[in-house]
Chains A and B, each alone.
Chain A
Amino acid sequence: MVATVLRIRFRVLGNTLVRSPIQMVGFIFGVIGALWMLLLAGVGLFFVGTLDLDIARSVVTTAGALLTLGWVVGPIFAAGLDTTLDPAKLAPFPMTTRQMMVAITAGGLTGVPGITTAVGSLAVFLVWARYPVAAVAALVCVPLGVVICVVASRAVAALAAGIGGGRRTREIIGLVGFVLVIFASPIFVGITGAVVSASEQGVQLQALVTGLSWTPIAAAWAVPGDLAAGAWITGVLKLVIAAVTLAVLWWLWRRSLSASVVGPPARTATRRRSGSLGWFGVMPSNPVGATWARSLTSWTRDFRYLRQLLLIPFAPVLVLIYSRGDIDGPFFAASGLLVGFFAGILAYTDVSYDGTAFATVLQTGIRGRADRLGRMLGSATVSVPLVLLADVVTIAIAGKWELLPAVVGGSMGLTLVGLGVSAVSSALLVVPTPAPGDSPFKRVPGSTFTMFLAFFLCWALVAILALPAVIPAVLAIFAGATGAGWVSLGIGLVWGAVVFAGGVLIGGTRFDASAPRLLAQLRTFKGA
């Protein structure tokens, strides 16, 4: 049964790649990336093997911990979980829950990330080649570590998707999990930074790695090193920890899986009073107003949009962490610019989130200009206040009120230019996105490569077009030319408005020509 399911999985992958060239390109890039990482891991671990035993132990343990974390965190940032073998799809077949879990695990192991992990972890044997005991132990521990990776990623995703009954509850839990995971990375960077500075102050890095090796994420990888060093008791204990980790993860996954297969998520009775129109009662009754109200409703209620807004607090935190908590320096004061840079471009592929509901828009025969304006006003209604808030808060924390005009000018310029670019880009391209209410962990096939490419092109364009506002702002912030701040404010607002208007006009013309093509493309994504 498991073999049959795996065959289906590869057939699905093959058919998808044959059907869509862009997904093929994305897949090839994925494979190239994986090979590159394998090469790095192999060469790196080979040299580590020639070093001192303590260093080798630390490196393998840390690498194992990072790998496990990557499996849990990675799906959200990059690829999403491969849902070819979705429990809901497997449910009609006569399989026990256990068989289903084995099949999904095997599917995870045989995907590109799974194969990469499995092959890469073989490189661990390069390290332990000189220590026969460790090499023998690794025969057990490496597969154990790899399986923990796969099972952990599935268990976390199943838990995030399965907790709670109602749609709203699930979405909120998904969002909270998403926030935690997003901030896990900067927090991790921060902790690493703290560890490095702590070790400079005499704290042994070694001790921290030893501590790490007792945690579920690293235990399996630490066992061979312990045995090689002759620490039999700790080695055996860590092996027990790893085994228990796998058992607990398996149990958690099984529980949420059997619950979700038998009892699909219940319908909730969330409802508004009739006559409560929300934004639709506020906006003018014309195509721009209707689009504006709908866009704003999405930005404030649809979790796919809300997830994007989480980037806004992310930017100053990121700056703070990379500047090692230096709130007095110019970088933190300038982080409002980064916020504006993020915020304006959020709607760069706004039509994608409509999905096939875009047909409703097209049926009304709305003119492109009105559609663009409505969408960008919706985005601006959310992003402009948030950017201003971020500007004021960061400046207040930094205590440099004299820089406010520069920061506001630069960030508003970036936001408005971003909106203008989005008005054009979202009329030209759609990318596969999750359906509303989908788990943030779910992968949309083919999305990764196209999305990143389009996103970076748009970003580059924004960066270039916003230079007239950003240059004076940077002069004011970093060179202390306070007068330049007011110049930046003036240019940012005027030039930003010009680019915004130009984007709406150009995007409108493009939209009139390309809207049926966008719908046709969105229809092809639907099956995916």
Chain B
Amino acid sequence: MTDIPRDTPPPSNLPEAVAPPAPSDSLPAMQLAGLAKHFGQKVAVAGLDLTVPTGSFYGLVGPNGAGKTTTLSMATGLLRPDAGTARIHGVDVWTHPVEAKRLIGNLADGVRLFDRLTGEQLVTYTGMMFGLSRDEVGTRTADLLRIMDLTEAAGTPVVDYSAGMTKKVALACALVHAPRLLVLDEPFESVDPVSAANIEDILRGYTASGGTVIVSSHSMDLVQRMCDHVAVIAQGRLLASGTVDEVRGGQTLQDRFVELVGGRHHAEGPQWLRQS
């Protein structure tokens, strides 16, 4: 597998606020080695190795319950692994959590936000947590709310946001400290097509300027279109990884995925469900 990101257009309209700092080393953006986690009897992640090259737009795909969220939680310091290590730009997440987390912008799936805060307060809060100066927090918050089309709703409590708006404000929080690596768990779930296209532009500009993005998704079409690298996970194991073209090998990613993971039925559904 090659570690060279595919050619990308020069940074376009990326706001100053979210441009990542220039990479200062040649270490991979994320390196997972032998990562393992079990819940009771159930093995969620079984010794997973994965290298995410700096500057790549990396897709993480797998069936439901494959261990994607668990893997990303362990890689970003939210869930302590049973075994294995996770390094972000060479920094071990579990021995130097504070330093590692500064490098990560994280959009976790299935967690609440502090939804009694307004959108503006929430992004400001996150910026303050990273110790940005007050002026810096103000500028970045305004920029981020603008590119997420949330300026109108800036003063509304997040609890009153729609699901898509909530995703967008969470993404704004993940970007506010200009991380070098963005880890996005299901970022496009319930986001409308226009916002999704806007977010895609932002992420492309971000990788073009040297940032790294990891997205987990169920949508193969989206991953095939957006990502340059992809990893397929099932039952807590890595089935394939590399550039998208390497992994799909001439098929569509959808077909290749089904081939790797298995479990496709070719049935018409039960008799009683047929309407005629």
Q: Are A436 and B78 in contact (CB under 8 A)?
A: no
CB-CB < 8 A to B127: which residues of A?
A: 285
A271 to B46, CA, bound (A): 47
A354 to B98, CA, bound (A): 20
A436 to B112, CA, bound (A): 10
Most buried by A among B97, B100, B114, B132: B114
Most buried by B among A270, A286, A361, A364: A364
The number of A-B residue pairs with CB atoms under 8 Å apart is: 128
Scan residues 64-120 of chain B and give those whose CB is less than 8 A from a CB of chain A. 76-80, 97-102, 104, 106, 108, 110-118, 120
A272 on the interface (CB 8 Å rule)? yes
Segment at the interface with A among B6-14, B150-158, B237-245, B250-258: B150-158
B15 on the interface (CB 8 Å rule)? no
CB-CB < 8 A to A290: which residues of B?
A: 125-126, 128-129
Scan residues 145-186 of chain B and give those whose CB is less than 8 A from a CB of chain A. 145, 151, 153-157, 159-160, 173
A437 to B112, CA, bound (A): 13
Scan residues 484-516 of chain A and give those whose CB is less than 8 A from a CB of chain B. 512, 516
Q: Are B118 and A272 in contact (CB under 8 A)?
A: yes
**Closest CB of chain B to A328's CB: distance in Å?**
44
Q: Are B79 and A271 in contact (CB under 8 A)?
A: no
CB-CB < 8 A to B102: which residues of A?
A: 365
Most buried by A among B115, B118, B132, B159: B118
B133 on the interface (CB 8 Å rule)? yes
Q: Are B118 and A357 in contact (CB under 8 A)?
A: no
A273 on the interface (CB 8 Å rule)? yes
B131 on the interface (CB 8 Å rule)? yes
Q: Are B160 and A167 in contact (CB under 8 A)?
A: yes
Most buried by A among B78, B98, B137, B173: B78
Q: Are A271 and B125 in contact (CB under 8 A)?
A: no
A121 to B129, CA, bound (A): 57
Contacts A270-B160, A354-B114 known; A364 to B121 CB distance under 8 Å? Answer: no
**Closest CB of chain B to A369's CB: distance in Å?**
11
Q: Are A516 and B173 in contact (CB under 8 A)?
A: no
Most buried by A among B76, B111, B127, B154: B111
**Closest CB of chain A to B176's CB: distance in Å?**
10
A410 on the interface (CB 8 Å rule)? no
CB-CB < 8 A to B124: which residues of A?
A: 277, 280
Contacts A297-B121, A517-B80 known; A271 to B157 CB distance under 8 Å? Answer: yes
The contact size tier of chain B is 35 or more
CB-CB < 8 A to A365: which residues of B?
A: 77, 97-102
A291 to B114, CA, bound (A): 12
Contacts A268-B160, A285-B128, A294-B125 known; A276 to B114 CB distance under 8 Å? Answer: no
A117 to B206, CA, bound (A): 64
Contacts A280-B128, A293-B128 known; A367 to B121 CB distance under 8 Å? Answer: no
CB-CB < 8 A to B173: which residues of A?
A: 360
**Closest CB of chain A to B13's CB: distance in Å?**
22
Q: Are A519 and B114 in contact (CB under 8 A)?
A: no
Contacts A291-B129, A356-B110, A516-B77 known; A274 to B116 CB distance under 8 Å? Answer: no
A293 to B128, CA, bound (A): 10
Choose one: B111, B130, B137; the contact of A364 (CB below 8 Å).
B130
CB-CB < 8 A to B77: which residues of A?
A: 362-363, 365, 516
A316 to B110, CA, bound (A): 43
Q: Are B80 and A516 in contact (CB under 8 A)?
A: yes
Q: Are A366 and B80 in contact (CB under 8 A)?
A: no
Q: Are A297 and B116 in contact (CB under 8 A)?
A: yes
Q: Are B79 and A287 in contact (CB under 8 A)?
A: no
CB-CB < 8 A to B153: which residues of A?
A: 271
B264 on the interface (CB 8 Å rule)? no
A292 to B97, CA, bound (A): 22
A278 on the interface (CB 8 Å rule)? yes
CB-CB < 8 A to A278: which residues of B?
A: 121
B134 on the interface (CB 8 Å rule)? yes
5 tightest A-B CB contacts, nearest first: A365-B101, A290-B128, A274-B154, A356-B111, A272-B155
Q: Which residues of B contact A (CB under 8 A)?
A: 76-80, 97-102, 104, 106, 108, 110-118, 120-121, 124-134, 137, 145, 151, 153-157, 159-160, 173
20 A-B pairs besides A293-B128, A360-B113, A363-B76 with CB distance below 8 A are: A271-B118, A271-B155, A272-B155, A272-B156, A274-B155, A275-B154, A276-B120, A290-B126, A293-B125, A294-B125, A360-B111, A362-B77, A365-B97, A365-B98, A365-B99, A365-B101, A365-B102, A516-B80, A519-B79, A523-B111
Q: Which residues of A contact B (CB under 8 A)?
A: 167, 267-278, 280, 283, 285-287, 289-291, 293-294, 297-298, 301-302, 354-367, 435-437, 512, 516-517, 519-520, 523, 526
Q: List 21 A-B contacts (CB under 8 A).
A: A270-B160, A271-B157, A272-B156, A274-B154, A275-B154, A285-B131, A285-B137, A287-B129, A290-B125, A290-B128, A354-B114, A356-B112, A360-B173, A363-B101, A365-B99, A516-B77, A516-B78, A517-B80, A519-B78, A519-B79, A520-B80
